[in-house]
Structure 1
Amino acid sequence: MARSKSSDTGTTDKRESGNGATDGLPVDKLKEAGQELLQALMVKALKSATGPVKDMAERLADSGGGGAKAKMAASGVESLQEGKSPLKAGLKAGMTGAKETAKNVVGGGGGGGKGGGEDEAKVINIVEKFDVGLPRRVAYDQWTQFAEFPSMTSKVEKVEQESDEKLNWRAKIFLSHRDWESTIVEQVPDERILWKSEGPKGYVDGAVTFHELSPDLTRILLVAEYHPDGFLEKTANLWRAQGRRLRLDFKHIERHMMTRTMLQRDDIEGWRGEIRDGEVVKTHEEALKEEKQADED
């Protein structure tokens, strides 16, 4: 009993003396050192438990800048403090890095204003061409049948021609729909069509030209500039999804011309008017009248 009492008394004395010694220590510095040690342990645990996840998280952090990397590390440390496994902590850190990276890219690196570099990064330039076994006039006339674009492409749902130079488009983008308006800036029969567009969720400016390789062979050249606007469009633009979609629809138009248009070439009637600087300078009827007069002469 005496030994037990002596032991208890000694323990109590040590505890009391320990509390007194702690009062003079730099507790804040010890906490910071502990946090740094915890971060180092997290990295070590991630390396041993899930190398691929850690590598992916570091790549995301490096592409997102210092802010993304810091938030990713903090997220992983927090997960480990909550008692989660190193694998789950790594996954959470990777997701945090991915979110921050997307915000930086979509929002222009987190800057307050819009600069020229940001606009250039958002735009996708697309240049495509194909050759069709059709006379240049037939290929051009088919292209001017804008109301048929829903049947020629896979995502265009509706095209309404408000006037000779104004077009309203509607297309399906993922699970939603997008509307935009195009204005034909210049249109010269059998040669070229240039347009500008505007829409609340992105738009496409561009030009299409027609080049005669032989009397029955025409080369069609498309130059498009896609401007994403809106979170969904900008996020998808990171993977160039819209650019691939536009190229795919261009292939659909090629297939349509090589099949249906070729079989019905004598029935294709295009718009033969002329547009300059966004205004009609020659109507379809005037153009047909001039062609008829030229044939008679």
Structure 2
Amino acid sequence: MHSVEETIGIAVPVSTAYNQWTQFTVFPRFMTVVKKVDQVRPALTTWTVAAGPVRREFQAEIVEQEPDSHVVWRSLERHPAHRGEVTFRPTAAGGTEMTVRIRIEPRGVTGVLAGVPGLADRVVRDELRHFKEYIEGLGEETGAWRGTIRDGRVRPEEPKPRRSRVARWPVG
């Protein structure tokens, strides 16, 4: 198992960084290895990635997602299997600290590439830098999905408290 962890500071608020990150189909605009992303359902995506001559398609399930906090996913394929997490934390300056953690189980040809010392770390670091440049350049998100996912299932939105129409007597 190979693990990667990279953190980057971004000069936009947490909600802006998080909202843009949830726009998976836009990833090819700023990530060099991501060629296409289809959002099949809120918790299921299909990715096409390519690095050099190696091209691969896989599905990923979003296992957990909490607005302005984190997104956790796992690949549905076993070669190579991977799990990941991205967290969003506010900084004192009003920006965002983003941390990406990925665990890759090296199997097959693409697994061998993941096992090359420093390669996966370098790719994650570079792609995070591309995300930073993209969102800071825009200054605002291109869209947002503010839903919550638990155990791979979209949770219903919490009902907003309704204001009572019953007159309240002054307390007193």
TM tier, smaller: 0.7 to 0.9
Who is 1:193 aligned against?
71
Distance 1:218 1:228, change over 3 A: same
Q: Distance in 2 between matches of 1:244 and 1:136?
A: 24
Structure 1's consecutive aligned runs of 4 or more residues displaced over 6 angstroms after TM superposition are: none
- Counting matched residue pairs gives 163
Q: How far apart are residue 221 of structure 1 and its match?
A: 1.2
2:35·2:48 contact (CA, 8 Å) conserved in 1?
A: yes
* Partners of 2:135 and 2:50 in 1: CA distance: 23
Q: What is the CA distance between 1:168 and its match in structure 2?
A: 0.5
Q: 1:218 to 1:246 in 2, by over 3 A?
A: closer
What is the CA–CA distance in structure 2 between the aligned matches of 1:244 and 1:271, rounded to whole Å?
A: 29
Partner of 2:168: none
Once the two structures are superposed, the pairs formed by residues 275-290 of structure 1 within 5 Å of their partners are 275-282=149-156, 286=157, 290=160
Counterpart of 1:195, as a letter, is W
Task: Choose the corresponding residue for 2:148, options 248, 261, 274.
Answer: 274
Structure 1 residue 173: deviation in Å?
2.6
Deviations 1:57-108 (A, max 9, x none): xxxxxxxxxxxxxxxxxxxxxxxxxxxxxxxxxxxxxxxxxxxxxxxxxxxx
Contact 1:178 1:201 in 2 (8 A): no
Q: Percent identity?
A: 28
Q: Distance in 2 between matches of 1:156 and 1:169?
A: 7
Does the 8 Å contact 2:113/2:119 carry over to 1?
Answer: no
In structure 1, the residue corresponding to 2:91 is in which secondary structure? strand
The two structures, once aligned, show a CA RMSD in angstroms of: 2.4
Matches within 5 A, 1:211-290: 211-214=89-92, 216-231=94-109, 233-234=111-112, 237-260=115-138, 262=139, 265=140, 268-282=142-156, 286=157, 290=160
Q: 2: CA distance between counterparts of 1:208 and 1:235?
A: 22
**Is the CA contact (8 Å cut-off) linking 2:6 and 2:121 kept in structure 1?**
no
Rg larger in 1 or in 2?
Answer: 1
> Relative to 1, partners in 2 of residues 1:238 and 1:220: Cα closer, same or farther, differing over 3 Å?
closer
CA shift, 1:131, in A, is 1.2
Aligned pairs for 1:30-45 within 5 A: none
TM-score for both structures, normalised by structure 2: 0.83
The structure whose residues are more often helix, as a share, is: 1
Confirm or deny: 8 A CA contact 1:138 1:268 kept in the other structure: no
Q: 1:274/1:247 Cα in 2 relative to 1: closer, same or farther (>3 Å)?
A: same
Pairing 1:178–2:35 present: no
User: Structure 1 regions of 5+ residues with no counterpart?
Assistant: 1-122
Q: CA deviation at 1:235?
A: 5.5
What letter is aligned with 1:161? Q
Letter of the 1:188 counterpart: E
Where does 1:145-156 land on structure 2 (aligned, <5 Å)? Answer: 145-156=23-34
* Mapping 1:7-156, distance limit 5 Å: 123-156=1-34
CA pair 213-236 structure 1, distance change in 2 beyond 3 A:
closer
How big is the shift at 1:194? 0.7
Does 1 or 2 have the higher relative contact order (CA < 8 Å, sep 6+)?
2
For 1:87, the equivalent position in structure 2 comes to none
Unaligned runs of 5+ in 2: 164-172
What does the per-residue CA deviation read over 1:104-142, in whole Å, with 9 as the maximum and x for residues that have no partner? Answer: xxxxxxxxxxxxxxxxxxx22111111111111111101
